[in-house]
Every structure is written in structure tokens, then in C-alpha cells.
Amino acid sequence: MRIWGKIWKHNHLLRDTVVEDMTGETRTHKVFHALEAVCREFDLSVPIWLEANIRDFKRTKKVRFNQDSFIEEIEFDYLELQVLEED
């Protein structure tokens, strides 16, 4: 599985990274591990998955975490994860 993590502000891409996970873990575990890796690279706390996030991710293979998902203040509009390739 490959997941693309992106930080957006005012419709401009500020940073991005791709995380690859070819382990035998479940899809859910791979997504959680990718989110943690993206947040570690961007020096962010890991956001909270809200019901809307889960619903969007299941439907579109993409999720956006805005200020509502973070405990601390963020300096961007949202963090986006998008599945590029699945096993």
C-alpha cells in the first residue's frame, strides 16, 4: 500500500510525502501506520479520526484532517491522506 500525505494552506500544497507499507498487516493498520509516519515526518501530533473522516475515507480513499481533528493549533488548512496504491 502506498499513501500520499499532503499539507494544504489556501489551496496550495505546502509539503507532501509518500509512505509505502508492504507488510502483511490489515488495511486499517497500514493506514494508521502511514498516518503516524506522515505526522512524524511533518512534526505533527496524530489527528483524531472523527466519524466524518472515517466515512470519507471509506468512500473515496482520501481523508482530510482539519483543525477539528487536532488537539493543538495547526498553521495550515488541512492534512490530507490519499491511497495511491493498494496491495
pLDDT number for residue 78: 98
pLDDT number for residue 72: 94
pLDDT exceeds cutoff 90 at 87: no
Mean pLDDT of 10-29: 96
Q: What is the pLDDT of residues 44-60, one digit of tens each?
A: 999 999 999 999 999 99
Q: Are strands 2-9 and 62-65 parallel, antiparallel or unpaired?
A: unpaired
Which residues, 6+ apart, have CB-to-CB distance to 62 below 8 Å?
A: 56, 80, 81, 82, 83
First and final CA of the chain: distance in angstroms?
5
pLDDT exceeds cutoff 90 at 71: yes
At residue 84, φ and ψ (nearest 5 deg) are -90, -40
- Rounded Cα distance between 73 and 64, Å, is 16
